[in-house]
Amino acid sequence: MGSIRSTFQYFSLNTSLHGFRRLWLKNRWRKCWAMLITLAIVLCIYQIVDKLGVLMKDPLTININLSYEDKMEFPVITICNTLKVR
């Protein structure tokens, strides 16, 4: 167990992620930083799981049809909106 702790301590002291270094300081804000980092990780995992669930529930299908015209007068504007907009 000491190996995991020392590895995490080494990572925390040498990373550029905000707040991890403060977990090893001996002051009154240490517990606050631990709670904030834990909350941020939990919210990140929640967002990832939520967005993956949305993606898996409603898969995206894209069909692309290319057509070439020999002669077009300038300026030509073509608007083709076949995508679902929510």
Share of the chain above pLDDT 90, in %: 19
Q: How far apart are CA 44 and CA 1, in angstroms?
A: 26
| Residue 33 pLDDT class (50, 70, 90 cuts) | confident
Q: What pLDDT shows up at residue 49?
A: 97
**In the chain, domain spans:** 2-57
Q: How far apart are CA 23 and CA 21, in angstroms?
A: 5
| Residue 84 pLDDT class (50, 70, 90 cuts) | low
Q: How far apart are CA 77 and CA 79, in angstroms?
A: 7
What pLDDT, in 10s, does the model give residues 39-72? 999 999 999 999 999 888 877 788 888 888 787 6
Q: How far apart are CA 9 and CA 64, in angstroms?
A: 51
